[in-house]
Structure 1
Amino acid sequence: MSEFENTDKTGDSQSELIEDGCNKLVVKCKYCGSKILDKKLGKFIMQEKELPLMQQDTRKEGEIQNEKVDQFYHVENMFTFENIGFTHTVDCYKYLSCADCDAGPVGYYDMNTKHSYVALSRIEHA
């Protein structure tokens, strides 16, 4: 079984989402439906990264909860995005959020490489 035949956390088959190593469908915010990335502009990669949870447990005041994410769309130029916001810098990274509803982080921007990474588990495809 190839890496593209696996299913992601939303139950979609990778073969339905990935074509020629890139996103086959438009990438949208899973909360407001705003377009984040057009078709075939993000290269699918597997790499492990810890990202803060999109919804933090408010009972754990002052503590940031994280999760490991391992499937991303790699975007070399930040001007490729349709609607994306960038946070302030945290340890050489900026987190990405939906520019319309501020949901996030949907991924991260690496200050060293100047490349962005959108987590497949945190977006929708349309």
Structure 2
Amino acid sequence: MTDEANFADQIENEKNRTNVRCQFCNSLMLKAREASYCEQEVNVPLMVQKKDSKSDSLNTETLHHFWLVEDMMTFENIGFSHTVDGRKFLVCADCERGPVGYHELSTKRCYLSLKRVVHVDA
């Protein structure tokens, strides 16, 4: 089954139908109907990095499905990494796992990956 098919149940009127929580500690990140669905192709570091003593680079994956949050104060619970190439990566503020998305410094918008969180009925 494709990611699009998996995520269709989470989208209602182009918004998140349910609450969005951390997949590791179940912390509430975003309440239902607070973010808009968007698609884009973005490389984001893997949540678990492989140890490679020969390289300082991060292993990444391409993500396509995001919740767009226009104002960072909309989040119930989110943490931010240090700035890397004009972005801050988003992590769970409670367990610090991530990244679950990124914050674009130039636009001040946040993008939360549907693939890296869980959706629970409001």
TM over 0.5: yes
Q: Is the counterpart of residue 37 in structure 1 residue 41 in structure 2?
A: no
Aligned to 1:21: 14
Moved runs in structure 1, 4+ residues, more than 6 A? Answer: none
Q: What are the ranges of 5 or more consecutive residues in structure 2 without an aligned counterpart?
A: none
Q: 1:56 aligns with which of 49, 57, 79?
A: 49
Q: Is the counterpart of residue 73 in structure 1 residue 67 in structure 2?
A: yes
Aligned to 1:115: 109
Q: What displacement does 1:42 show?
A: 1.0
RMSD: 1.5
Q: What displacement does 1:8 show?
A: 2.1
Q: What displacement does 1:12 show?
A: 3.0
**Alpha carbons of 1:99 and 1:13: their partners in 2 closer, same or farther (altered >3 Å)?**
closer
CA contact (8 A) 2:20 2:29 kept: yes
Equivalent residue pairs, number: 118
Q: Is the counterpart of residue 46 in structure 1 residue 39 in structure 2?
A: yes
The 1-side partners of 2:45 and 2:112 are apart by: 13
Percent sequence identity over aligned pairs: 42
Aligned to 1:3: none
Higher relative contact order (CA 8 A, sep 6+): 2
Q: What are the ranges of 5 or more consecutive residues in structure 1 without an aligned counterpart?
A: 1-5
How far does the alpha carbon of each residue in 1:54-77 deviate from its partner, in whole angstroms, 9 at most, with x for none?
Answer: 00012x132310000000000000
Q: Is the counterpart of residue 100 in structure 1 residue 68 in structure 2?
A: no
The 2-side partners of 1:48 and 1:13 are apart by: 16
